[in-house]
């Protein structure tokens, strides 16, 4: 399964560290309304098994099926 990854902009106390927003690679996928106030930048399109995501594929797929998106901390 391919996913589209966005990274948030870190900006001090409000968002001290960036987070990754993972959406299905689907034209109908959209950033959820409650996450739209955050500044997101396109990061990558990868397989759900890619280590870049920093979360197990099972967790990401489960989040995508339940919520339509997944939020994870980037790997270092």
Question: pLDDT tens digits, the chain, 76 residues: what are they?
Answer: 999 999 998 665 665 778 999 999 999 999 999 999 999 999 999 999 998 898 999 999 999 999 999 999 876 5
Q: Where are the beta strands (DSSP E) in the chain?
A: 2-8, 20-24, 40-47, 70-72
Beta-carbon-side half-sphere exposure of residue 24 (alpha carbons within 13 Å):
13
β pairing state of 20-24 and 40-47: unpaired
pLDDT of residue 48: 96
pTM, entire model: 0.88
């Amino acid at each position: 399964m391919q996913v589209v990854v966005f990274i948030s902009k870190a900006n001090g106390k409000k968002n001290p560290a960036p987070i990754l927003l993972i959406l299905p690679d689907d034209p109908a996928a959209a950033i959820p309304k409650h996450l739209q106030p955050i500044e997101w930048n396109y990061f990558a399109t990868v397989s759900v098994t890619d280590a870049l995501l920093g979360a197990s594929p099972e967790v990401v797929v489960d989040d995508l099926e339940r919520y339509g998106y997944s939020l994870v901390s980037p790997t270092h």
